Amino acid sequence: MLTARNALLEMKAYHPPLRGRTGLRLDFNENLAGCSPRSLRALRAMNTDAVAAYPERDGVEAVTAEFLGLRHEQVLLTNGVDEAIHLVCEAYLEAGAEALIATPTFGMYEIYARQTGANVVQVQAGADLAFPVARFLAAITPRTRLVLIANPNNPTGQALAIADLERILLAAPDAAVLVDEAYFEFHGETMMPRLSDFPNLFVARTFSKAYGMAGLRVGALCGAAEQLGTLRKIVSAYNVNSAALACLPEALADAVFVADYVAEVVAGRERFCRELSGWGVVHWPSRGNFVLCRLADAPGELAGSSSGALVLALRQKGILIRDRNGDPGCAGCVRITIGTREQMNRLLVAMSSALAI
Ligand SMILES: Cc1ncc(COP(=O)(O)O)c(C=O)c1O
């Protein structure tokens, strides 16, 4: 009988709740204002040749490197950050090696790391859900080949200080350290300028979140030229499709679109947290475009109910939010994406009525 590798047989299937996402989508941390109109124009201008020909990543990769203040050899465009994670797992992990993550975090780290046959060492955050720096440093061993850190983290929204990331990089000089900056634009701090100081550092950026292009699947993996040279050996030459390549330079050029949206989201995030505090709903400070709240001890009519009760109540009002009850340390929690001012008005009305506050 045909069987896949043991590492795959032991893995659980991962199905993000994607079906029928109509209404106000506050469940996947997307840009709720869409993408730059300049990107849409570029998409509409694609002709039959552009569709029929294999995509050429090189030119747009060079433009992206310049945008990021890096040399072309330091940047690899990927099929979303998902592919960047997949690539570093393939390049640095194997059976017997260890990947180190702090939980709760982005679910794809564990999936891509496990499929290599490596051991995934998980360091659980405490009740404050802050990154457990001291215990994480203590978990680094000579077998640690890959360290995966989302900064800011999903689903907690919490960020690590640059100084703590540097301590981790210094403590694991023989491991690849991927700092996943998928939510960088909403946070504002980056490890990008430190690439020249740490040959084991990788920084990932996505165009799925602030740039509003999740459907096109494009991200950037940045790192030492020598390491990226190795990754280029295994990446598909056509990993980023022609539509994404047509839109990306326009998206990068439209700095005003991204800056305006980020400012609206940051203001919406602060306002939402103030409302949650006023309602007595437990939540964690966020540096991303989302907020994690705990419903288990919510006030009002849903008091003591599960996170699923709020997910359901809001879905009936046409608003999707994400149940994070199953994430380690997140019992009774939901994660809510921050949208535009009008969308947040709608959420606040719906949520206060669902909670009957
Ligand atoms: C921390 C983190 N990294 C990566 C991703 C995936 O990004 P992409 O759409 O670029 O694959 C997500 C998406 O939710 C995320 O939260």
Residue 1 lies in a domain: no
CA-CA distances (angstroms) from residue 321 to 28, 307, 310, 326? 8, 10, 9, 14
121 and 194 co-located in one domain: yes
Please give the C-alpha separations between residue 251 and each of 55, 56, 223, 244, in angstroms, as whole numbers. Answer: 18, 18, 22, 10
Do 20 and 92 lie in one domain? The reply is no
**Predicted pLDDT at 1:** 93
Are 300 and 334 contained in the same domain?
A: yes
Question: pLDDT below 70 — which residues of the chain?
Answer: 303-304, 357
Q: Is there a single domain that holds both residue 238 and residue 290?
A: no
Q: How many angstroms is it from 83 CA to the middle of ligand 1?
A: 10
CATH of the domain at 112: 3.40.640.10
Distance between Cα 81 and ligand 1 center (Å):
6
Is residue 187 one of the residues assigned to a domain?
yes
Is there a single domain that holds both residue 192 and residue 61? yes
Residue of 29, 76, 79, 82 best suited for mutating to test ligand 1, as the one with most atoms within 8 Å of CB:
82
Contact 203, 195 (CB under 8 A): yes
Contacts of 271 (CB under 8 A, 6+ apart): 344
In-domain check, residue 219: yes
Residue 357: the pLDDT is 67
Element at 206 (helix H, strand E): strand 201-206
- Where is the domain boundary, 254, 283, 318? 254
Determine, yes or no, domain membership for 224: yes
What are the φ/ψ torsions at residue 186 (nearest 5 degrees)? -90, -5
User: Does residue 150's CB lie within 6 angstroms of at least one atom of ligand 1?
Assistant: yes
Determine if the pTM surpasses 0.85: yes
Strand, helix or coil at 243?
helix
Same structural domain, 158 and 232: yes
Residue nearest atom 4 in ligand 1 by C-alpha distance: 81
Give the atom of ligand 1 at the shortest distance from the alpha carbon of 83: 11
The label of the residue with tokens 């964690």 reads 284
pLDDT digits (tens, 9 = 90+) for 16-66: 887 888 899 999 999 999 999 999 999 999 999 999 999 999 999 999 999
Q: Which domain holds residue 25?
A: 6-31+256-355
Are residues 126 and 21 located together in one domain of the fold?
A: no
| 221, 32 Cβ separation under 8 angstroms | no
Does residue 104 sit in the same domain as residue 213?
yes
For 31, 67, 216, 315, the CA distances from 318, given in Å and listed in that order, are 18, 38, 25, 5
Same domain, 51 and 93: yes
Total tally of structural domains belonging to the chain? 2
Q: What distances in angstroms separate CA 147 from CA 53, 107, 129, 344, one per listed residue?
A: 37, 14, 18, 35
Span from the CA of 182 to the centroid of ligand 1 (angstroms): 6
Q: In terms of domains, do 99 and 177 share one?
A: yes
Residues 318 and 233 in one domain: no
Residue 150 alpha carbon, nearest atom of ligand 1: 1
Q: Does residue 64 belong to any structural domain of this protein?
A: yes
pLDDT of residue 98: 98
Residue where a domain terminates, one of 222, 254, 286: 254
Calpha distance 210→60 (Å, rounded): 19
CATH number at residue 315: 3.90.1150.10
Q: Does residue 192 sit in the same domain as residue 99?
A: yes
